[in-house]
Chain A
Amino acid sequence: MNVEPAASSARVVCIWFDTPVATQKVAEVCLRFSSQICTRQDRAVFVEIAKSKRLFSTESFLARLRVSLRRLGLTARIALGHDIADALVCAKNGVIDLNGLPLSVLTDFIDPFETDSVSRKYTDRMIDAFQDVGIHTVGDFKKIPLSELISRFGPIAAIAKQRVHFEVSMVWPYWRPEEVITEKTDFPHFAFYGEMEPLLFEMKKQLDHIFQRLWSRGRKAQAIRVRVHSEINSLNPHPFREFNFEFLFAQSTTKGALNIIKERLFTDFEKKPFTTPLETLETTVTAHVPGLLAQKSLLNRNEETDEQMQALLGQLIEIHGQGQIYHAEIVEDRRPERSWKKSTTPQPGPSGLNLVFPLRPTHVVRAERIHLTGDYVHIRGKPHKIISRSGLIERISGGWHDKPDDLENSFDRNYYNIELEGGLRICVFETPDGLFFLQGYYG
């Protein structure tokens, strides 16, 4: 990477790639620096930096840009210029001073986006004519009076003259980031079969790029689709596989998302192994949400911890299923088993609950029929000696609308606590029929 020194009046940065690359991705990553961006096909990205100078110094910008390019695995020449053409010529030729450059660079001054073939043709003719009369560099061209240029070469020479002197501003072509963020890798034939490790290695690279692109837009991934294609033949019944991930918590890091994806792929590959070589891996962000609210605080690590927790919970939910990992939210219902509900986010409990309800058992079981005979309570046919038995603790009525099939006529319940031999304390309720059920126990 060849970085030119910053000019004090520099307005535009050009990132020039010697080989064709996906400039769209680079441009999206640069969105974090400026909203005024454009590209020259697959070779260059231009970023306007004058308006964001209060946010980034030129040195800071260049340092951040180098890191971003390294993360994308790209090398480029970066140059600062007064305008698009100036930055482009400097970056392409790796110089600061234009005067020593050959006249052929005038084509880039006239048509920096390489879109106007007619102008390029006239510019080439003009350059040939100048070279015939001994004018070989931009410095020599600058010395020619404008009146002589127009009379001999017309408006194309006037434009070239104005642009090398930075006298006219250029219009930026319209550019906008891609609607759908997707990364695709094609594997050469017989590169590898359905082994997990190489696939995860490729996926990590894709996710790194995806999350960098999302981050520069201030977004987080809410849903991701992964497609794995393998070679088609009669031995492989499932050559195209698609995995859709709806994250419980929006993901912003590769580590968190990869762990979740890994669990699903591992289970699928174990059940249905790939028997033919893999051809394509494609990862697409199908839904994203704003992520700027989670900006990190300098004073504590709460955001990092929350992010880690969300990634972990997402992974556990992937393993154990929805609803198996949860936080609890207290709701107003006298029945112990209905006095709370599952929640995906941590919920503080209401205040003053002790005043309303008697102390609940620590554990509640599915209501189970028990028998009380004299000094014994029979649970699952096994007798337990009663040490003490409380009076009526609570009477709960209601819940008829729930229509419990397994527990008829249980709308009016009288609750009691019973202490058993061995120190165990249980909570039972009695229905209007005089039947007793085990509700729970105090641990």
Chain B
Amino acid sequence: MGSAEKLHHLKLIVGAVDTTVRRDSFAAPDLASGVPKGTVVEITGPRKYEWYIAFLKQNPELRCFWAERQPQVLPTSLHQRGVRLENITFGILGDDCFVSLRKIIQSQVYQVVLTTTPFKELKMLRAFQLLTEKSNTTLFLAGSKEATNAWPISLQLNITQSSRGFKIDVLKQKYGALE
């Protein structure tokens, strides 16, 4: 854990961080607080893509860029689940996608961007945090199996299946009340 992260963690323990601060947010399935706009969100768990697809279905007006390392997502399945395919652009950006993602976010054409590439470097995540905030684009990171400790990430969700839909563990939430 880095010093900034440690400090933030300690602040959370003593209540020095106001977690009730809210931003404009998108409605999200099984997540009452929604997904804040202009932030970096990390999703993990065996149902993360199903949840993201349900999120797109719930917000049909959103333009989404779906960035992958290799072509794996099946667009037919998205259509079957009620997502409007005309609002989604797919991109096979490979491993070195930082520059492209930066251009996509800066363009402000897409309100949400999903990437399956894991980012380990904190400075990259910090850059994304600033870019998303400036362009009011929400960046979903779905590349890591385990949630990362990086402090620029505003919301971390671990999504699994439950009998009634999705079971969401909020691992970290900067904006809005903790669930």
Could you tell me which A residues sit within 8 Å of B by CB distance?
305, 308-309, 311-313, 315-316, 319-320, 324-330, 336-337, 339-340, 346-349, 353-354, 357, 359-365, 422-425, 440, 442-443
Contacts and interface: CB of A to CB of B under 8 A. Distances in A.
Majority-rule SS of A interface residues: mixed
Contacts of A312: 103-104, 107, 109
8 contacts: A305-B109, A309-B107, A309-B109, A320-B100, A326-B89, A336-B74, A354-B80, A359-B80
B49 A363 contact: yes
- List the 6 closest A-B pairs by CB distance, nearest first: A443-B49, A328-B75, A423-B46, A346-B86, A349-B79, A360-B77
Interface string B75-93: 1111111001111111111
Interface residues of B, number: 39
B91 to A, nearest CB: 5
Nearest to B87: A346
B85 A362 contact: no
Contacts of A424: 46
Given A347-B85, A365-B72, 8 more contacts: A316-B103, A324-B91, A340-B74, A340-B75, A349-B79, A362-B49, A362-B50, A423-B45
Contacts of B92: 320, 324-325
A325 B161 CA distance: 31
A256 to B, nearest CB: 10
Contacts of B78: 328, 362
Contacts, number: 122
Contacts of B50: 362, 442-443
A360 B108 CA distance: 31
A305 B63 CA distance: 11
B169 to A, nearest CB: 13
Q: Which of B52, B88, B91 has the most CB of A within 10 A?
A: B91
A265 B72 CA distance: 32
A305 B80 CA distance: 27
A77 B4 CA distance: 64
A361 B94 CA distance: 22
A360 B76 contact: yes
A363 B73 contact: yes
A301 to B, nearest CB: 11
